[in-house]
Amino acid sequence: MCFSHKIKLAFFVAIVGVVLTVLGVGTEFWVELAPPKNFYNNQTCLTAHYGLWKGCTKTLWVSDIDPERESCGPAELPGESNCTYFKFFTTGENTVMFQKTTHKNLNVAAAMLALFSLFLMVMGAICITMALSKEILFFLKPASICFILSGVMVLIALLVFHQSVLSFLASDHTVPLHHELSWSVSCIGCAGAVLIVGGILFLLLALPCSPWQRCLPHKEGSS
């Protein structure tokens, strides 16, 4: 495999991480919240899910829920949904759901970390494009740093978001809530790992020569 093909293969790995990050950041299924399914009445119940930018509440029919499930949900069931964008980034207001209040600072920090990680991904992609088009291998090192840092920041954003969820749940104990991290978080977790792997691959390609070439020098022309 020629050197440019190796770069393209590593770039493909990084692009997978970028796509997963965009999918996770752009969707609002980071966490699902659900009170007991009979908390309000015996016919309908309310569930909620939110991400970095907006939250949604959904009214479900109790008859549609698995009889063995104690809480309302899952959010994928058909029902009447109402989604609103958070006002953290405009008026600075917290959001109240199920009489609990979101932790504005932690939510904003998670969102900013995710956005900055996307910026680093763009910078890394530009470096790789320059390395392929101009055949300047120097750009592999900054690209590797960009992708590794972006992967680390994505994982940190995930930890900060989880802490914001715990703070949200602890803000009021009037309504008992079951919470679970949803599929957007899975996308973000996988994205962080894939981006770090992609950055390490670029770093290995940027080395002057591979480790085994240094340990086993070529014998060409020795005869």
pLDDT, tens digit, 9 for 90 and up, residues 187-219: 999 999 999 999 999 888 887 654 434 444 444
- Please give the pLDDT value at position 2: 62
Entry pTM: 0.85
Angle between helices 104-133 and 183-206 (to 10 degrees): 40
**Which CATH code of 1.20.210.10, 1.10.1200.10, 1.20.140.150, 3.40.50.920 fits the domain covering 1-207?**
1.20.140.150
Q: How far apart are CA 27 and CA 191, in angstroms?
A: 14
Whole-number CA gyration radius for the chain: 23
pLDDT, tens digit, 9 for 90 and up, residues 135-185: 777 888 899 999 999 999 999 999 999 999 999 999 888 888 888 999 999
Query: Six-digit token pair at 182?
Result: 């949803």
Domain ranges of the chain: 1-207
**With bands split at pLDDT 50, 70 and 90, how would you rate the model's confidence at 3?**
low
